[in-house]
Structure 1
């Protein structure tokens, strides 16, 4: 098959969940004999060279110069429209069996729909999240526009892929269509090859330091855990606009000997190495489209603590008491489960590894390939 992925930011120049998913699946489809293209912003461009390149067998097409993805902490509408308009001309030059768009930020899906209407491809859309009424919380009164554009996007094709059961349920709440669930995954071989770090900890968090990650809840929980385990050591790995507030919070609570901020780690192997030297992973987010870090932590033999919330798909990855715990958004509940996770880690380890092994990218790419073939044969 001749396959094109469409997503504005391109891995490894931009490292996020959606970028990683496209990269992991695209390179494996190449190994299975397919011709794979990726249309994105020219993240690899230099001042002298704006040419398309081949990266690990994937044909990368830069449709425009890279511009900021975020404006005032939110995904830029200007960037999404700009990319969708710039995508039109280069995409129309080619025919594909499959064009797969990542659903958000929506506008490129409409460009791809025109390509499909003209008979030049079959359109698939992958949904990482469906927000529905959450748009009002995100944008206030302007959320109505986000909600409308999202709904229109969900009707562009019947060939919709969802990355989690939660996203599938949210899709069905808006449109009576059963999306094909093809989850995100992890590279078990790479994880198993990485050695433990010398930097040991009891609790670890990895992620962007933004409000939605609720890392302040983790800080409060560690303050409570310290009463029972005075030597508790927590690593907060990542960076972001909330870091300064969180560091002040740690100082105000006299937690500097218990909580350490490592900053952003550019090497993903270092993240895995740090996880392997910890005991419990905490993901205090209230909103996750999937939660790959849950699988990575489980693969590193760590039980995971996640927060119960209607927008948190990571809850679906937890078998309570087996590979982790789903807690109420309360520092007391989180602290109690952190302590239990530390004490029960050895007992929970086999369940963690068994669960993570179900989500290897090498298996997931087979699901995607079969879905493409099945959908195309129905035409």
Structure 2
């Protein structure tokens, strides 16, 4: 593949200023693609007043500075709308071989369509009827905007097989290429465990959909059998205060530590490696990179069986983790089983995670881009 491409990734937030699954995916793919191709990333201007920033072979384009991503516990709507309006003239004046726009927030895809460049839409989730649960009657607008993306391009990528199935079931009849998320498997093996040891660890944004309250209620049950059980919660978000209060009410103040966001990804992995079981009760995941990272760190993962949780598809039940019902007692039981069997599950978990190395996934994406070219 000797052809050099000019590639643009379009989203709203950018790694490492914001640490989430989608922005981490873009970063990992972009840094690898930039070794051979010209790569640009468009998003919020996290770094100050300058409209552009160079780093690791990537040109970052910032539209507006955003101080608050969330409003009333949900991602705010106005910033991505303003961001998309500012994207139109920026993307219109450049010609790219590929614009890879993340499906949500949907406004950015419509803005990207105004460019003369071929558009790829990468789907991390498909919400459909869930919009009504999320916003009530107003959710109809989100549902219509989401469905409208079907007609913007023939080039669609899904981050998981579940999302591909959801899109097909919703009526998207075009070819959908599955390009999963991944991990830097070799780098994870090099990281030393943290000196802070725990029995159970959770990593993720503290929002309602992550369902961390289920973990806390399960911990209260586990404490009945293991009084000194120690759990650590890595991450921050609008639910943190509520979760800390719930932890106190459940009598878990000495058992659970909330560490907030860790700036260095290596520190997150180090905390994982110093733990025994990764607990992930999330109800809504387009993929779940942290699940693969936990497996790569040698931890079995306990997640939940929920229709919008694609991370359960990463678990081979009993091999690299367990899938529990959305019930604190069953979740607690599965954690205890994982705790008992963790040593024999370690090598299997790591072997499964090794299949998701970013280098291989980047090659697959590069081939897809070339197939999308006119």
TM-score between both structures, scaled by the size of structure 1: 0.94
Alpha-carbon deviation of 1:150?
0.2
1:27 is the counterpart of 2:23: no
1:40 is the counterpart of 2:43: yes
**160-169 vs 248-257, greater mean Cα deviation:** 248-257
Distance 1:66 1:259, change over 3 A: closer
Alpha-carbon deviation of 1:226?
1.9
| Paired residues of 1:168 and 1:178 also in contact (CA < 8 A) | no
> Which residue pairs with 2:147 in the alignment?
151
Look up the SS of the partner of 1:344 in the other structure. Answer: helix
> Which residue pairs with 1:345 in the alignment?
342
Q: How many aligned positions are there?
A: 369
How many Å separate the matches in 2 of 1:81 and 1:67?
Answer: 15
Unaligned runs of 5+ in 1: none
Distance 1:51 1:219, change over 3 A: closer
* Aligned equivalent of 1:286, options 283, 286, 295: 283
| Paired residues of 1:67 and 1:79 also in contact (CA < 8 A) | no
> Which residue pairs with 2:98 in the alignment?
98
| Paired residues of 2:154 and 2:175 also in contact (CA < 8 A) | no
1:12 is the counterpart of 2:13: no
Alpha-carbon deviation of 1:263?
2.5
> Which residue pairs with 1:88 in the alignment?
88
Look up the SS of the partner of 2:114 in the other structure. Answer: helix
* Aligned equivalent of 1:268, options 248, 262, 265: 265
Unaligned runs of 5+ in 2: none
RMSD: 1.4
> Which residue pairs with 2:224 in the alignment?
227
Alpha-carbon deviation of 1:246?
2.2
> Which residue pairs with 1:183 in the alignment?
180
| Paired residues of 1:171 and 1:177 also in contact (CA < 8 A) | no
What do residues 25-64 of structure 1 show as CA deviations (whole Å, max 9, x unaligned)?
1111111x11111122222223xxx242211001112233
Look up the SS of the partner of 2:79 in the other structure. Answer: helix
1:211 is the counterpart of 2:208: yes
**Structure 1 consecutive aligned stretches of length 4 or more whose deviation exceeds 6 Å:** none
Look up the SS of the partner of 1:83 in the other structure. Answer: helix
What do residues 111-152 of structure 1 show as CA deviations (whole Å, max 9, x unaligned)?
21121xxxx311101011100000001101111110000000
Alpha-carbon deviation of 1:67?
5.6
Distance 1:40 1:257, change over 3 A: closer
Alpha-carbon deviation of 1:280?
0.4
How many Å separate the matches in 2 of 1:74 and 1:246?
Answer: 16
Alpha-carbon deviation of 1:82?
0.9
Alpha-carbon deviation of 1:219?
1.2
**62-71 vs 337-346, greater mean Cα deviation:** 62-71
